A and B are shown apart, each in its own frame.
Chain A
Amino acid sequence: AQSVTQLDSHVSVSEGTPVLLRCNYSSSYSPSLFWYVQHPNKGLQLLLKYTSAATLVKGINGFEAEFKKSETSFHLTKPSAHMSDAAEYFCVVSRSGRRALTFGSGTRLQVQP
């Protein structure tokens, strides 16, 4: 069985400040972990993926995430928020990515000017 918990339903930051979106996972096997972003009225776009090659994963648009097995966490960070980062972010777990994805409940990121 697998699950993800996104610890914050809403996060608000000021433009130019760091972003931290928290995610904890539970999996009975070595998981594949992903972060997807959904902008209003848009589909889901892959930000980055962890597949056991490296614990620090760099994604698109300056985002990165660190896999910490001891803490079962996969938090998403960005050094400096941009207005265009305002969206819903989903932490996702899968068995190798070729099976069904299990989504977290999402974190809505607001970026204040």
Chain B
Amino acid sequence: DSGVTQTPKHLITATGQRVTLRCSPRSGDLSVYWYQQSLDQGLQFLIQYYNGEERAKGNILERFSAQQFPDLHSELNLSSLELGDSALYFCASSVGLAGGPYEQYFGPGTRLTVT
């Protein structure tokens, strides 16, 4: 158990809908990262937050957004869903930005199926 929690574990929804994935980082970790794992694209970085602020963006679609709250949990919002958004979404956390290097600890993932 990495200490990173993600809910829900599975999500099935229809095209055009909007969903919210939730992540709680390990205790003490300030940095949260979101990744998408799909069969055709592999594991890709989406976005990073540090202590409530966006720090880096990867291959995140404009239909997707995220935020990190004062209690450090993070939510990834996916809207206008398409079939191709079906994937496993991972959240990871690490200690911080200064110093390092730090390893990232991954949650169990949320499997999103768009029908």
Q: What residues of chain A have their CB less than 8 Å away from a CB belonging to chain B?
A: 32, 34, 36, 42-46, 49, 51, 90, 94, 96-103, 105-106
Asked whether, in the complex, the Cβ of B2 is within 8 Å of the Cβ of A97, the reply is: no
Chain B residue nearest to A52 (CB atoms) is B101
Q: Mark B76-106, 1 if CB is under 8 A from A, else 0.
A: 0000000000000010101011001111111
Asked whether, in the complex, the Cβ of A100 is within 8 Å of the Cβ of B56, the reply is: yes
- Please count how many residues in chain B sit with their CB below 8 Å of the partner chain's CB atoms: 27
Could you count the A-B residue pairs with CB atoms below 8 Å apart for me: how many are there?
60
Q: Using known A-B contacts A45-B2, A49-B103, A103-B42, determine if residue A98 contacts B96 with beta carbons closer than 8 Å.
A: yes
Interface check B11, CB cutoff 8 A:
no
A sample of 8 more A-B contacts (CB under 8 A), given A43-B106, A103-B42, A103-B44, is A45-B2, A46-B103, A46-B105, A98-B94, A100-B45, A101-B33, A101-B92, A102-B45
| Residues on the B chain within 8 Å of A46, using CB | 103-105
